[in-house]
Amino acid sequence: MSVRSCPLPPRDGVHASCVVLPHEAWPSLLAYLEQRFAHVAGSWQQRLAAGELWDDAGQPLAAEAPYRPGQRLWYFRSVEGETPVPFDIDILYRDQRLLVVDKPHFLACVPGGRHLHETVLTRLRRDPALADASPIHRLDRETAGVMLFCLDPAARGAYQRLFEARAVYKCYEAIAPYRAGLALPRQHRSRLQELPGGFVMQEVAGEPNSDTLIELMQRRGDWAQYRLMPGSGKKHQLRAHLAALGIAIANDPWYPDFRNDKAADDFSHPLALLARRIAFTDPIDGCERLFDSRRTLAWPDEAAECV
């Protein structure tokens, strides 16, 4: 649903969510909402009573509103107990079409699940001049580094197609254990699939669907800094590849051993993974674009946090 079709202005950088009523028979609008969307935070009865549910004309619906198949309803999501992320977003570049940010660790890219206000997109959209910002690609919440946003909705597709065509150079850095005998550089190829019911990825037998070029940058005792250049963009690819090689990234809460996602974040121990560089030929004006993160990764034996 285009945010431009929404009849409500954003609230604190958050755009309203939309529900389209299916062509079914229900005794009332409230009965449908309470059964089908019981997971949504906050009482639907209280929302209706407070005028916090709107029709497609931007008019609040009454508490006794009837169920009308095909009707579009608008509401604002809420998340209870969202933990503030104490790190700022740095702007690396901005023009009429592109916005390039240096994302901190622990900040989700877009709203979803238990993350709403503490996301890159919501923080950006609090600035009225960035109300149309939309992500061109994404990084894991735990990963820091270079991320691209489009400010011109008409140009977004052209930039996204660059990623789909693998026409974007992406370089990451990671700190992980040093493994003697692991031949580097190496092109690691494997088949990744999501672990049933576990959210994490695992390598399985079959035709490879992911590949990463791995280089050793430097070693410090039992730890090493690696340069990672993914040729594909599978979910958690870099984390899963290094874990499969026996060198899981420092401070990774999910690899090689999965930890419940609801566990509290330890801001003093960020995942040692950084999206260092992105480069591509701009599909609109043909200019060569290259953006580098200004952040650094902390070694596990250092007290300093990632800055």
Q: Is 5 left (phi over 0), alpha (psi -120 to 50) or beta?
A: alpha
**Do 72 and 125 lie in a common domain?**
no
Q: Which residues pair with 279 in a beta bridge?
A: 169, 290
Model confidence over 7-51: pLDDT tens digits?
A: 998 888 988 889 999 999 999 999 999 898 887 656 888 889 899
Tell whether 83 is covered by a domain.
no
Tell whether 246 is covered by a domain.
yes
Give the pairing of strands 273-281 and 288-292: antiparallel
**Do 95 and 65 lie in a common domain?**
no
Tell me what pLDDT residue 102 has.
98
Among candidate residues 32, 48, 78, the one where a domain is terminated: 78
What average pLDDT does the structure give for the chain? 91
Tell me what pLDDT residue 40 has.
67
Q: Which two tokens stand for residue 202?
A: 């695992």
Distance CA 110, CA 122 (A): 7
Planar angle of CA 100, 101, 106, nearest 5 degrees: 150
Among candidate residues 78, 103, 138, the one where a domain is terminated: 78
Tell me what pLDDT residue 41 has.
54
Give the CATH number for residue 180: 3.30.2350.10
HEC readout, 65-112: CCCCCCCEEEECCCCCCCCCCCCCCEEEEECCCEEEEEECCCCECCCE
8 Å CB contact between 115 and 80 = no
Mean pLDDT over residues 105-109, rounded? 96
Confidence class of residue 246 from pLDDT cuts 50, 70 and 90?
very high
**Do 62 and 165 lie in a common domain?**
no
Full domain range(s) for residue 128: 90-292
Residue 109 pLDDT greater than 50, yes or no: yes
8 Å CB contact between 174 and 226 = yes
Tell whether 301 is covered by a domain.
no
Q: Which residues pair with 277 in a beta bridge?
A: 171, 292
